Structure 1
Amino acid sequence: MAYRQRRFSMFLRRPFKEITQNTSVPHPDLFKTLGIGSNDTQRGNADLPTIGECAVHLELLEVFRNLRIQIIQSKELVRVFRLDSSRLWISKHRRETKRTEKWHRFVSLAVERFQVWIRAAEKQLERDGNNKTLILPPAASITADPLVSLTDTISETQSTPDQPNQEKHPSISPENEALLHNVLRQMKFIDQMHDCLWISYPDAEDILETARKRYNNFVELFRLHPGVMLVPTLDIDLVWHTHLCSAARYREFMMVRVGRFINHDDKLGKGALDDGFDRTKELYEELESRGGA
């Protein structure tokens, strides 16, 4: 609790209410804005992510976190990946634990399979004349038990009739390596969102609405201060990540609101982030003192 309040107090000056019992399941009203536009009428605000979209994003991040826990705790994957005898393949500079390697290998396979799916989806769209056809990835087959599907897939690729015990490590193609590391870096953000537990707060709707307003001010800083590196707080970053999930909508919003596309760079070092955060805090408080965006 102290960690969350300390991070928030830099921008947000109100104490968070303590979590009470029976609040682990979000209230249905938290998702009531799904599928409807925002009621905001200020400049560009109608295209901000809604409270419901931010709440769904938090729930999705919890799914990813739980999936990672299931993968790294799986004893079956130790056998499937042959971690007892194989060398670690993901790191060139240091050895990773078996738990970490299981997750890295799982994500590597997921990236490769995603690329196969997206290429097939693009071909389907071309055949359909680029109509906005909904093409879903084959996720339903692994939703019930992802480990069963994963084990079957790896077993098929690692064994042949002639060489049943031949080790074959997963490899990542150069064009997919950036996507792999992008996914792995997102786990830090996922853990931060889990630690905050906003989705379980009795005033979760107020928290997310405040985050939306603060994100709106944050975006205004990009317009007012081009060239300045701006670093968000965790609540602002949640809305930013949610906005990025709708790529076309995000691009259009930024072009109209800021006049240029704003990239979300998560590869900056701690020193640059600390300096950027201090500068952002000053600019944000100055904007807020004038009434905000």
Structure 2
Amino acid sequence: MPRHGLHLASPTEDDAGCTCFGAFPTPASTLSSVRVTEDEILPASLFVPLGRPESAAADPEKALPWVSECAVHLQLLEAFSVMKAKCLKSKKLTRSLGLSKYFALALANSEKRDQLSRAKWDTFVSLAVIRFKKWWDVLPEILRETNEGKSKPEMTLRTFPPLDVLMIWITQLFSPDHYRNMCQDSIKEWDVSAMEFPWELLHSIIDPYDSTYNLPKEAERYFHEKTGLDADLYAHLTDVSAHDRLSRMYLHRFALSQLPGAKKFNTKELDARPSDFSQLMRDYAMWNFAIKTLKPVVQSQENFWDKMNQAGWLRSPHPAFTLTRAIARYRQFLQLRNLHPNSGELLPTSAIELAWRTHQCSPTRYAVSTTEIAGRFINYDDGMAKYAAVTGGFAKAEKLYKQEFGQDYDPCMCWSCEAELAEKQAVDSNDDENMRRAEAKVGRALEVERARKAGKIVRA
């Protein structure tokens, strides 16, 4: 362990010397503005290369995830967290859902207020599931229009979906068998599971400074044209003037139905000639099973978002170094499955899980690598993760990893430990010099990240 105190990110249980990133609160009012270059926010080199040659999919080693892909994945998780925080904090959304008086009545009851805030987000997620289903239904038509003559389809900026729809799409990708069946059942012209996840496009539309998702206007218009839905779900929900009286009533009842123990939303009461919005409510009845299935998966993924954002690897002094190590450990994790096929389910560390989830976003490459390196295709989904957690999957992985590779399975990967290790490997010098360089880089990265989160960045 380093002898200095600038430790960031979540420590392991054995790493009591590390201080969590969240332990550095600085009120925004006391922070001065910080002038930064774009490379200090996110180094451009971190995202090179993006986009793969066809030949990469067939080679199990080349088919492993890239550092650049893991980095964009972290950007996406930040964008999801920003979207969620916006919904939870929004007074406009509270009013549009008709929940203001309930918040007022619960002024002294923090648990009830938390439940009401959660109901806002659950309403948003439930509607996102419906919107994803409508988008998925027209995806064959979208792909036919934009991929004529191609052997396999690809996304373009014009056909990119809104963030809430993307959130549901990626939860489907995290269930490999289920996603493959979805593709086979829905889209006959191509093997959509062979489509490369559009990391390069995604990187271009997430703001590096505040992690907002900025869908191009052309894509917004195209989404509305194909689905009949507004591209910006939050803006649509909070634009009360755009909703008729019945729509407001339906939305209010729908939000209340998300509370624990609440009465189920009754779609039979919907108007026989619904507006666009109440039609979305009517679709709830058709896809109620999908919502019940997918909403808990999104909720479990929120824990993953939180872990990654707390670790803060994307904003650390040496993100490429950390992500390279995460991918290498993921490969070793796959090897363990091959070396010990009867060991049962193994639970990944946070770093391994990031590489694993990133890999799952490219189903064909994922199948090639896992089949070759792990000895079999691994259908790692939410159910398997829960099973591994209750059957000692982490302890088994820890023991086997140490046995096979002679390394700690879950070393501290906080900013300081990673910075010192990176400096040691990059420069042949003594420990004191390594430590001074690491401290300086961590200190600057912390200053920039504090300012970024407080909105105090001045672009150089």
Q: TM-score range by the shorter chain?
A: 0.7 to 0.9
My pick for the range that moved more, 48-57 or 254-263, is 254-263
Question: Where in structure 2 are there 5+ consecutive unaligned residues?
Answer: 1-6, 22-33, 103-110, 164-214, 224-229, 255-280, 408-460
Secondary structure of 1:4's match?
coil
Query: Which residue of the other structure, out of 185, 196, 199, is the alignment partner of 2:314?
Result: 199
Q: Alpha carbons of 1:34 and 1:164: their partners in 2 closer, same or farther (altered >3 Å)?
A: closer
Instruction: Kindly provide the amino acid, as one letter, of the partner of residue 77 in structure 1.
Output: L
> Which residues in structure 2 correspond to 1:93-104 (within 5 Å)?
97-104=115-122
Question: Where in structure 1 are there 5+ consecutive unaligned residues?
Answer: 10-14, 87-93
Which structure has the bigger radius of gyration? Answer: 2
Distance 1:79 1:109 in 2: 17
> Which residues in structure 2 correspond to 1:38-53 (within 5 Å)?
44-53=60-69
Distance 2:370 2:95 in 1: 48
Quote the offset at 1:254 in angstroms: 1.7
Secondary structure of 2:382's match?
coil
Q: Alpha carbons of 1:164 and 1:205: their partners in 2 closer, same or farther (altered >3 Å)?
A: closer
2:328 aligned with 1:182, yes or no? Answer: no
Distance 2:322 2:248 in 1: 55
My pick for the range that moved more, 211-220 or 274-283, is 274-283
Secondary structure of 2:160's match?
coil
Distance 2:82 2:364 in 1: 29
Given the two structures, how large is their TM-score scaled by the length of structure 2? 0.51
Q: Partner of 1:136 in structure 2?
A: 160
Q: Partner of 2:360 in structure 1?
A: 244
Q: Partner of 1:280 in structure 2?
A: 397
2:380 aligned with 1:264, yes or no? Answer: yes
Q: Would you say the 8 A contact 1:8–1:233 is kept in 2?
A: no
> Which residues in structure 2 correspond to 1:155-234 (within 5 Å)?
156=243, 159-160=245-246, 165=249, 167-169=252-254, 171=284, 173-227=288-342, 228-234=344-350
Q: Alpha carbons of 1:206 and 1:3: their partners in 2 closer, same or farther (altered >3 Å)?
A: closer
Q: Partner of 1:58 in structure 2?
A: 74
Give the structure with the larger helix fraction. 2
Secondary structure of 2:392's match?
helix
Q: Would you say the 8 A contact 1:125–1:131 is kept in 2?
A: no
Quote the offset at 1:271 in angstroms: 8.6
Q: Partner of 2:131 in structure 1?
A: 113
Q: Alpha carbons of 1:76 and 1:44: their partners in 2 closer, same or farther (altered >3 Å)?
A: same
Q: Partner of 2:89 in structure 1?
A: 73
Q: Partner of 1:90 in structure 2?
A: none
Q: Partner of 1:35 in structure 2?
A: 51
My pick for the range that moved more, 128-137 or 231-240, is 128-137
Quote the offset at 1:209 in angstroms: 0.6
Distance 1:146 1:54 in 2: 27
After superposition, the CA RMSD in angstroms is 3.7
Instruction: Kindly provide the amino acid, as one letter, of the partner of residue 99 in structure 2.
Output: L
Instruction: Kindly provide the amino acid, as one letter, of the partner of residue 122 in structure 2.
Output: H
Distance 1:3 1:164 in 2: 43
My pick for the range that moved more, 100-109 or 170-179, is 170-179
Quote the offset at 1:201 in angstroms: 1.4
Quote the offset at 1:6 in angstroms: 2.0
My pick for the range that moved more, 141-150 or 54-63, is 141-150
Quote the offset at 1:97 in angstroms: 1.5
Instruction: Kindly provide the amino acid, as one letter, of the partner of residue 363 in structure 2.
Output: A
My pick for the range that moved more, 122-131 or 244-253, is 122-131
Instruction: Kindly provide the amino acid, as one letter, of the partner of residue 114 in structure 1.
Output: F
Instruction: Kindly provide the amino acid, as one letter, of the partner of residue 214 in structure 1.
Output: R
Q: Alpha carbons of 1:48 and 1:124: their partners in 2 closer, same or farther (altered >3 Å)?
A: same
- Alpha-carbon displacement from aligned partner over 1:140-161 (angstroms, at most 9, x marks no partner): 33999653233349964x734x
Distance 2:377 2:387 in 1: 24
Secondary structure of 1:261's match?
coil
Q: Partner of 1:5 in structure 2?
A: 11
Distance 1:98 1:201 in 2: 35
Distance 1:223 1:81 in 2: 51
Distance 1:153 1:253 in 2: 49
- Alpha-carbon displacement from aligned partner over 1:179-205 (angstroms, at most 9, x marks no partner): 222112111100110000111111111
Distance 2:366 2:398 in 1: 24
Quote the offset at 1:55 in angstroms: 0.6
Distance 1:75 1:152 in 2: 12
Q: Alpha carbons of 1:197 and 1:165: their partners in 2 closer, same or farther (altered >3 Å)?
A: closer
Distance 1:247 1:153 in 2: 41
Q: Would you say the 8 A contact 1:68–1:103 is kept in 2?
A: yes
Quote the offset at 1:24 in angstroms: 6.1
Quote the offset at 1:82 in angstroms: 1.8
Instruction: Kindly provide the amino acid, as one letter, of the partner of residue 245 in structure 2.
Output: S
Quote the offset at 1:31 in angstroms: 1.0
Q: Partner of 1:289 in structure 2?
A: 406
Distance 2:129 2:239 in 1: 17
Q: Alpha carbons of 1:7 and 1:270: their partners in 2 closer, same or farther (altered >3 Å)?
A: farther
Distance 2:368 2:72 in 1: 22
Secondary structure of 2:10's match?
helix
